[in-house]
Structures are given as structure tokens and as C-alpha cells.
A and B are shown apart, each in its own frame.
Chain A
């Protein structure tokens, strides 16, 4: 069974009295263990599609299944639960909680979302901190970390709950070229280690070349699907 099944999904936004279509009848499937990219220019619908897959928004029509669950109609609370249990997120601006250390940021989903016991949490977080090479900096707050280190922490936070899928919206946009590649390689390594699927959006041709599967969007339509460009 594919991890993601999208069947003719559309998304319209209401602007004044008009419906503005952002996605126009997309259908595709993504299997488990994928390292996929949604690519396309600004306004092509990449972020909207990631938001739909991430249960942050509902499609206007069509069905969207993630890990076998139809997420098109989940309530606010059920969507939060689904995100907490099955999804991880990596953001362009890292979005770490500034009052928490790197260790605590990674621990947050297990503590506040999953409610794991302290021992189980510590063991898991230590493993993730080591996996992203942040053991030496685990006690530091985000303002004491470089951009690359922050994104490493964000990757660890996204993976700590052992999700099936990690969604990353322009994860390398705020990083220099070398760091961006290191983060992408880290994400690939994590996919290889934990079997987690990664889907990221990008408009950078060099970055999209790192994806094993690409979905090219233009004006809300899927215009190309295939291996690395």
C-alpha cells in the first residue's frame, strides 16, 4: 500500500467573492521510504500540497490518504493527533522553541505530544541527538547554534517520534550551499537508518537533484513526475 495516495485533489482559496484555485485535480502516489521533492516556481502550489499532506489544511475536493488514513475530513483535534503520531515537520526557518535547549526541543514531541515516560524519552532523544551529530551542543539554546546546527536539531525533532513521513518546506532555503547539502545528506541518512519517508519542497534546481523522486508543479497542476531531474 502506498504511503500517500492523492486522488484528484483540489484546493481553492476564497479571495473576496472569488474562489482562487491553488491545486487543480492532482493525483499521485508516493511509496514508503521515499525521498521525494515537490518542485516548481513560487505560487505553483508546493507549500499548499505539503500543507494538505501534513493535515494542516483540507482539500476542497478529492481524497487524500496518508498511511491508509483518509485525512481529507479529519477534525482539528484528530488532525493534531494524526500529525503527532505519524508525521514530522522541518521548516525553512527551523522554528525551534527559543526557551528550550537543543535536547529539549527534540524531546518536546515526546513530552508534550506523545507523553512518553522520562526514561524512554531520554534514551530516544540521546539516540537522535547522536544521530544528527549534536551531542556536544545538546545543552545549547537555539540562539547559541548556527543555522546548520538548528536544522540538524529540527531534523532530529521531526524524527524523534518515529514518524512514517517527514515533510520539509524549503528546508535548505536559509542555509549556505555546503550546509544545505549536509542537511540533505543527513535527511537521506536518516531515511536509510529509520526507514522514514521524506518529502520536501524546493525551487532550487541543485537541491531538487538530490531527490530520488520529483513532482513538478506549475500553476497548481502536476506537470511532471519522475526520478531525479
Chain B
């Protein structure tokens, strides 16, 4: 095996320029794929982190049908205390759940005593919300970032409303709400912070204390509209979803059907479509890499076989078995792919290192994204394996041709 590889390496070096150009092509393909995956991965992680850590959580539980009308913030599709209790019990019993937050969601009229506008609000328990969406606090661009997220009688408002209504931290405002039975209720609040907007649903919501929300809605029972859940690791999402679904199915309505529904962050955020698009692009780049390696290695190996017909005849004449001849050419293609891919990987690590030292910052919607690409070892191993496998496949036909060559014809070749 070693001698075959050694001979293959020498044969590759026989045509240095051609080998170098082909390896360079493979290197560029591998590098393009790895850099795209690393950069896209960083972008995805940043965006998913921003969405899940600052507003959505990793998954959410609602009363069945609530998400269909979530834009209207319905008040008649609340989770009743009994259901909430069972949900809490299921969440507390799951080892992969890190935290959860009960939310009362409502639409309100926001008044600064001279102008009115509408605002979407989340009534939250500050400690639970902090644990569930820890990055929400980082969105407070003006106001107290260190204390509780929101205290009773205080409101966190989105930048858009603060700017449009010319309201600043410390100003008194009034929130007026129409409850489920149609009665109107209002309450004075003090603006305790102004939130940066983020892309996605809930990215421009305000926050008040859950007790204030229930008071405004005149709830006589501790109902909630939404349970946001944070997991210890996003990798366990599918497993937790499966376990929770099994438990949530036990909470049934009067018709004996499941009363709740569970959604992953990707079901709730339009960014999931962008993620799918990025994944699709990655697939296409992967296909392009396969094509590059396949065409370039096959071309080189076909040329190698054609140029060495007499040599093949000689080796066959002196007793080299067809399988050994095939192995010599397969090894050449394999080494070529390996060398190109290894160089591509090395260069990718260097470039990723450089990009981490000098990060690229760009605006995506209202957010500033700082790309900090990371090369995943599994991805790197996969790309290396792919390049080597495709190289071997590309060499198969030329190698087979060499092995099947008639020694007499080969020796006569000029």
C-alpha cells in the first residue's frame, strides 16, 4: 500500500504544473465551501441566537389555534390555569429544559397624553423572562439594564414608539386595553427602558409586568397566552419537542382533543426560511465542489493514462496484476483530491482565523451582525471525505481502463 502511494505521489509530481493546477482548483472549491458554511453558520447562529435569546425562546406552547391568530393577539384563546399547571409540571420534569416564561400577550393603546398609538405588549414575570430570553436585557438601549427587566407600574417600550411618540425614559404614559368581554381599562405607567428592535415576530413588542397585564385585562384567573421555553442546548430541540408533545397531548379540551400546541422557534420566525435558503445554497455549493473535483480529477487521470500507455504495458508485461495497476491510478486520483482538499482546509482555517481577528460587520435589517465564522470539525471531515471519495470515483474509470489495457497494444503505442 505504501509503495503504491509512493509511486502514485511520484507520478503526480511528474507533471508538476498540471497537478498543481488541479490541486489548486480543488483547494479553491473546498475553501469556498468551507468559508461559506462557516460564514453562513455564524450568520445563522447569530440570528437564531438573537431571535431565540431575545424574544422567542427555543420553543413556545399556546392554546390550540392561538398561533393562527397571533397577529390579532386574541384574548379568547388563553391557556387556563389547569392547563398551565400541567404544562409547568411537564417543563419542570424535563431535564433539558433550562427555563420557561409565562406570558400574557395583549394589544393596547399607548398614550403620551397628547398623542395615541397602538402597541403590542407582553406581560411577563421579569425573573422568568430573564432566564428564558437572556438577551432581551441587552436590547435595552436606554434605561436600567442592571435591575429587574420590568417592575410593576413600569413599561419597556420599543424604539419605534419612543421615537414616534417622543417619549423617553422616566416619562409617564397611559396604556388603555379592551379586555375579552369588551370593557376598556387604563393604567398609568412609567417608561423604564427603551428596547432596540430585532427582526421577527415580537421584535417590536413592549413589556410590562404580568400582574399589570392581568390587571389591565381584568383577568380573574391566572391565565396566560404563551409559554416560552429555553433549553439547555439547542441540539436537544427535537428530542424535547417529542417528549413535550407526548405530555401536552394529555391536556385535552372538552371534545377530547389536545388543547395545546407546541411550536419550535423555526415555526414561528420567518428567519427559518432564510435558514432553509442558506442550507439550500450550501447544498448547491457542495454539488459544485463535487463537479469541480469530479471533472478535474477525471480529466487529469484520463490524461495520465493516455500519456502512460506504454508504461502501463511494460508494468503489465513484467507481471503487475490488473488490480495493482488499477490501485496505482486510483491512488494517484485519491492523493490529488486529498492534497487539494487538505490545502483548502488549511487555507480555510487560516482565513477563518483572520476573519475572527478582523471580523466582518454588516447590517441585517435593524441588526448589526458581526460574523465570527467557526469551522466545525464534522463539516471539515465531511468535506475532506467528500473530496477524497469523489476523487477516487473520478479515478475509477481511468484506472479501470489502465487495468484492462491489452499489454501488447499498450507496448506498441507510440
Contacts and interface: CB of A to CB of B under 8 A. Distances in A.
Given A80-B322, A112-B324, A89 B317 contact: yes
Contacts of A95: 310-311, 313-314, 411
Contact of B317 (A56, A85, A97, A112): A56
Nearest to A158: B318
A81 interface: yes
Interface in A50-104: 51, 54, 56-57, 76-77, 80-81, 83-85, 87-89, 91, 93, 95, 97-100
B365 interface: no
Contacts of A83: 317-319
Contacts of B318: 83-84, 88-89, 108-109, 113, 157-158
A223 interface: no
A161 B320 CA distance: 13
A89 B3 CA distance: 22
8 nearest A-B pairs in the assembled complex, by CB-CB distance: A84-B319, A99-B10, A95-B314, A113-B319, A83-B319, A56-B407, A89-B317, A80-B321
A113 B315 CA distance: 9
Contacts of B411: 56, 91, 95
B14 A54 contact: no
Nearest to A84: B319
22 contacts: A51-B408, A54-B317, A56-B317, A56-B408, A57-B408, A81-B321, A83-B317, A83-B318, A84-B320, A89-B314, A95-B311, A97-B314, A99-B10, A99-B13, A109-B318, A112-B4, A112-B7, A112-B324, A113-B319, A113-B320, A157-B318, A161-B319
A3 to B, nearest CB: 18
In this complex, which of B3, B314, B316 has the most chain A Cβ atoms within 10 angstroms of its Cβ?
Answer: B314
A228 B124 CA distance: 112
A67 B407 CA distance: 22
In this complex, which of A95, A100, A109 has the most chain B Cβ atoms within 10 angstroms of its Cβ?
Answer: A95
Interface in B242-291: none
Given A77-B321, A77-B322, A80-B321, A97 B315 contact: yes
A114 B316 CA distance: 13
In this complex, which of B7, B319, B411 has the most chain A Cβ atoms within 10 angstroms of its Cβ?
Answer: B319
Contacts of B320: 80, 84, 112-113
In this complex, which of B14, B315, B318, B321 has the most chain A Cβ atoms within 10 angstroms of its Cβ?
Answer: B318
A35 to B, nearest CB: 21
Nearest to A161: B319
In this complex, which of A76, A80, A109 has the most chain B Cβ atoms within 10 angstroms of its Cβ?
Answer: A80
Contact of A98 (B3, B14, B321, B324): B14
Nearest to A118: B3
B407 to A, nearest CB: 5
Interface string A91-132: 101010111100000001101110000000000000000000
A205 B321 CA distance: 37
A134 B231 CA distance: 75
B178 interface: no
Contact of B319 (A81, A91, A97, A100): A81
A81 B319 CA distance: 6
A93 B411 CA distance: 10
Interface in B321-336: 321-322, 324
B11 interface: yes
Contacts of B313: 95
Contact of A91 (B4, B14, B314, B408): B314
A108 B10 CA distance: 14
A52 B7 CA distance: 30
A84 B323 CA distance: 14
In this complex, which of B11, B310, B411 has the most chain A Cβ atoms within 10 angstroms of its Cβ?
Answer: B411
Nearest to A107: B3
A111 B408 CA distance: 23
A214 B395 CA distance: 46
B200 to A, nearest CB: 61
Given A80-B322, A91-B411, A99-B14, A111 B3 contact: yes
Contacts of A87: 319
Given A80-B322, A112-B320, A97 B408 contact: no
Contacts of B321: 77, 80-81, 84, 113
A81 B322 CA distance: 10
Contacts of A54: 317
Contacts of B324: 112-113
In this complex, which of B3, B317, B322 has the most chain A Cβ atoms within 10 angstroms of its Cβ?
Answer: B317
A157 B315 CA distance: 11
A126 B322 CA distance: 28
A35 B216 CA distance: 115
A103 B321 CA distance: 21
